[in-house]
Amino acid sequence: MIALHEQDFYAWTQQQLALLKTKQLEQLDIAALIEELESMGASEKRELISRFEVLLMHLLKWQYQPSFQGRSWLLTIEEQRLKLQDHLQDNPSLNSAENMQKTLTKAYRRALVRAEKETGLSRNVFPQNCLYTLEQILDIHFFPVENVS
C-alpha cells in the first residue's frame, strides 16, 4: 500500500495540518514530517548558495570582461542582490558568520566554473579564492574594477 505522503503530497500536507490543528498528535506521520522539515531546511541553504553563485559569476564577468559590461549584467547583479537580501531576511539564521563563509566558498567554486564557461577565459585567470568581501558582494554600489594583469 502506497503511503499518502508518496501518493498525494498535497493531500498529505493538509491531513498533517488538520491533525496538528486538532492536536491529534498520535496520528501524525512523524517520520515523514521529519524528512520533509529536513528537506525544507536544506532547500533554503541550496537557494542561498545558488543566488550567491549567480551573483559572483556576474561580478567575475564584470571584472574580467569589462568590454561586455552592459545593462543586462547590471540588472542581473542588482536582481541577485535583492533576492539575496530578501532570502536572508526571510531566513536570518542562514546569516551566521560560519554559515556565510561555507556558503561563499561553495558558491565561489561553482561561480568559477560558470564564469569560465560563459566568458571563454581559462579558469586560472580568475582568483582561486573569492577576493570580494561579503559586504562588497551585497553592496548595491559595489562593482569590481577591471582586472589589471
The pLDDT assigned to 7 comes to: 81
Mean pLDDT of 107-111: 98
DSSP 17-39: HHHHHTT-GGGS-HHHHHHHHHH
- Domain boundaries in the chain? 44-138
Average pLDDT over residues 21-33: 92
Query: What is the reported pTM?
Result: 0.83
* E strands, the chain, in order: none
For the residues 9-36, what does the mean pLDDT come to?
A: 91
- 3-state class (DSSP) for residue 131: coil
